[in-house]
Structure 1
């Protein structure tokens, strides 16, 4: 097939895909992958609700606690880079099945951890699976959606990650005081059951198939979606021309292309957003329950309850973000959320963070605002890269998520060695403000445009 013909075939398939309503198979795919993402969120934060018990049971020092927290994020960094690269070459679904299997099996390993060192090892291996699952899943769901309501469609899926975080709090609050810290990891074994429908009942991403020149397979997927729309009397307008210059099969993207004149500035912008937002949020998320327990000496159920309530508020804020971000716009939302978060964090520093109610009342709105940024960055990353780079770009970008998540606990431990928690909040406020200014200056707007138009 000539280049011109391939481009015409690819453009025709994309046009047919863009005109589709949200069909039953797409909803099924979003739900199935979303459940895997739910347990990824659960698994990521389950440790935070086990640590308040382990810190005393094993006599953990702040440095050892930081090492346990960071080991999972280090594994996620490795998994995000490797599996993001692999998904560009063998497809989204096979990689998703591998990643889900890894993080579920390693959850079983954590149940039998006998020391801080063994838990560090199991969390590192588990992190490889969780780190690979989210960027690949996000690329897959992004590629199923059309331009018109892509933000809402994608973020309602990504919301399941936050539901997983919140569920971890609820399960921790209910089970850990009664059944022990191991109960958090027993629940984390459930995702093994998700591998079968992922592997055998879902179709590969049509955009990935088009990008690899597998037009016949892509046509079968698109035709199946069109048939579903007709069977359920959904509107199916005529395909509109795609305004991208070319839609053709290209080799899988490379790291070098991510630093080309078009994609290089986008890469640096995303890396700054990933690092800054996640350094603060995952630092707060994993540290605050232990802070309430060890610094303010709250009962275990109250310490976990504060963490659970904070994630619940963030879940509501993220739902509002999902419904409105297409209208507000990505750039405006991210700038506002980051700069807003700096205000209560600064207030905590100025007031001395002297009691748990003050910390909860001011850290919660900052966390909720930043959560709308962190959970939607996979949407934004998918929009700023083409199909051949989408999974790799999200994987490398989320590697900075892991770097920020690793840095957060160590920064907290280092600052707290001086005897005060207040400077931690000032540090986070400065990071939030600087990240917000970077977005204000350099972030492109992507709302309402086809992926191929945004990233040829």
Structure 2
């Protein structure tokens, strides 16, 4: 077979891509794929840490900069608005330039802005830096999700992928732990200084990874894809003996389609459904977790360390729930899990509303429980989004879908600030419960099941 790297003739692309997909589907998890997931996981850990670092800096910044609830909401939301742009722009670029080039650029961008946050002197500067940082973090996660999905077969895909996604939640947890230990002693800048460490370690490891063979084949670069898959096959044979013959899969459509496919045919309903799921889950999850440390201190009068400690407990509950989801979702199925999670998470919020949210302990227990259940949805939607689209649309489809994550994430903190100022804290939880019930209705009516199905068969 030729080792040329030029694009294959258009007529061969579909057959070549189908062959690559069939060979990947029969592979076990090889050491290269395992470590690729872990390297990407290091980046995703830092993404999670970066997203929540500002929440644990905020109880100090509120008093140091004399911030109003509206300014707090704007600072918390700025990063998410930047992520919206990053998700759309870099998702599109990843379809044209490849997954790895875009991944490297996004992490360099959000690391540079993390350095900038150390030197912020007021709310305007912090809003601008968090916005730019969000562009990088918003681009990294959806592209990484498409990349990892394209390396693994249908069997066990949910568990393998979601154990990677748990790293994002460990990043949230790490932010809570660092906030609890360091912010009371060293101040808010400790959050951003510590956040640089995993990035510096992880960037050089990016060069260990190879481009997605499914993406290469979809672009007609079949010889390059063949070399990568052949290397994986040799590793699998050396470790476990002969591989079964590849089972033919549906030949994907030749490359050259564009983003408008997302809004036609079978993909229209999928696109609108995943947008709704992203928005509903993240309005509640990030509206809750980013405000809790500040609420504990400013509304309930707790001291700084206790406020940060309560926030950490909530983050930890989310990680535990997410690990349970990762281990079980391939058995339960995506649609059934999401429908029940949306419904069950609304119940403690309704109870909290009826009780009036009059104590920090009520909020810790009931809002924390709701957050943990919703977190099983938020962290697994990258898996589900990537399963809904073909290789030629996977990064842009996931990116556009996660743009609604950013809209929901930015709307959540702003909503909390506005409702607290105008109506009171109990009505925040009533609105959040209504949003979750809407998510449950959309899931039941329109979501499809993807468990155990080959990507090319799901999305021709």
Give the shorter-chain TM-score range.
over 0.9
Shift of 1:208: 0.5
**What is the TM-score with the length of structure 1 in the denominator?**
0.97
The correspondence for 1:196, drawn from 188, 198, 204, is 204
CA distance 1:37–1:235, shift in 2 (3 Å): farther
Q: Deviation of residue 85 (structure 1)? A: 0.5
* Structure 2 unmatched runs, 5+: 1-7
Distance 1:248 1:441, change over 3 A: closer
Q: Is the 8 A contact 1:14 1:207 kept in 2?
A: yes
Deviations 1:162-187 (A, max 9, x none): 01000110011011111110010012
- Say if 1:21 and 1:236, in contact at 8 Å, map to a contact too: no
d(CA) in 2 for partners of 1:450, 1:351? 47
C-alpha contact 1:101 1:192 (8 A) present in aligned 2: no
Matches of 1:367 and 1:162, distance apart in 2:
12
| Residue equivalent to 1:146 | 153
CA separation in 1, counterparts of 2:94 and 2:205? Answer: 18
Which residue in 1 is equivalent to 2:127?
Answer: 120
Correspondence for 1:261 among 243, 249, 265? 265
- Counterpart-to-counterpart distance in 1, 2:267 and 2:423: 44
**SS class of match (1:247):** coil
2:322 counterpart residue number: 318
Q: In structure 2, do the counterparts of structure 1 residues 221 and 249 end up closer, same or farther at CA, with 3 Å as the change threshold? A: farther
d(CA) in 2 for partners of 1:305 and 1:260? Answer: 48
* Unpaired runs of at least 5, structure 1: none
Q: 1:339 aligns with which of 337, 343, 350?
A: 343
Task: Report how far residue 231 of structure 1 moved.
Answer: 2.1
Asked whether the 8 Å contact 2:252–2:390 carries over to 1, the reply is: no
By how many angstroms is 1:413 displaced? Answer: 1.4
2:403 aligned with 1:399: yes
Match for residue 415 of structure 1? 419
User: Alignment RMSD, CA only?
Assistant: 1.2
Q: Would you say the 8 A contact 1:49–1:304 is kept in 2?
A: yes
Matched, 1:437 2:444: no
The offset of 1:11, in angstroms, is 1.7
Deviation at 1:370, TM superposition (A): 0.5
Runs of at least 4 residues off by over 3 Å: 1-6
Q: Is the 8 A contact 1:3 1:248 kept in 2?
A: no
**Where do residues 193-342 of structure 1 align in structure 2 (5 Å cutoff)?**
193-198=201-206, 200-233=207-240, 236-242=243-249, 244=250, 246-247=251-252, 249-251=254-256, 253-342=257-346
What is the CA distance between 1:415 and its match in structure 2?
A: 1.0
Count of matched residue pairs: 452
Secondary structure of 1:232 counterpart: helix
The whole-number CA distance in structure 2 between the counterparts of 1:3 and 1:405 is 41
Which piece of structure 1 moves more, 200-209 or 414-423?
414-423
Equivalent residue number for residue 111 of structure 1: 118
Q: Return the TM-score normalized by structure 2.
A: 0.96
CA drift at 1:194: 2.1
Alignment partner, residue 73 of structure 1: 80
- State the shift of 1:195 in Å: 2.3
Counterpart check, 1:174 vs 2:178: no
Deviations 1:71-104 (A, max 9, x none): 1111111111110010000000010000000111
2: CA distance between counterparts of 1:91 and 1:2? 19
Q: How far apart are 1:233 and its partner, in Å?
A: 2.4
In 2, distance between residues paired with 1:423 and 1:10?
52
Spell out, residue by residue over 1:318-369, the C-alpha distance to the aligned partner (whole angstroms, 9 max, x if none): 1011011011000000000000011000111010000000111101111011
- After superposition, the Cα gap between the structure-2 partners of 1:103 and 1:2, relative to the gap in structure 1 and judged at 3 Å, is closer
Cα distance change on mapping 1:340 and 1:357 into 2, 3 Å: same
The answer to whether the Cα contact below 8 Å between 2:13 and 2:219 also exists between their aligned partners in 1 is: no
Does structure 1 conserve the Cα–Cα contact (< 8 Å) formed by 2:13 and 2:218?
no
Q: In structure 2, the residue corresponding to 1:144 is in which secondary structure?
A: coil
Residue by residue over 1:362-397, the C-alpha shift from the partner in whole angstroms, topping out at 9 and shown as x without a partner, is 011110110000000000000001111111011111
Structure 1 distance, partners of 2:306, 2:241, is 49
Q: Distance in 1 between matches of 2:242 and 2:154?
A: 16
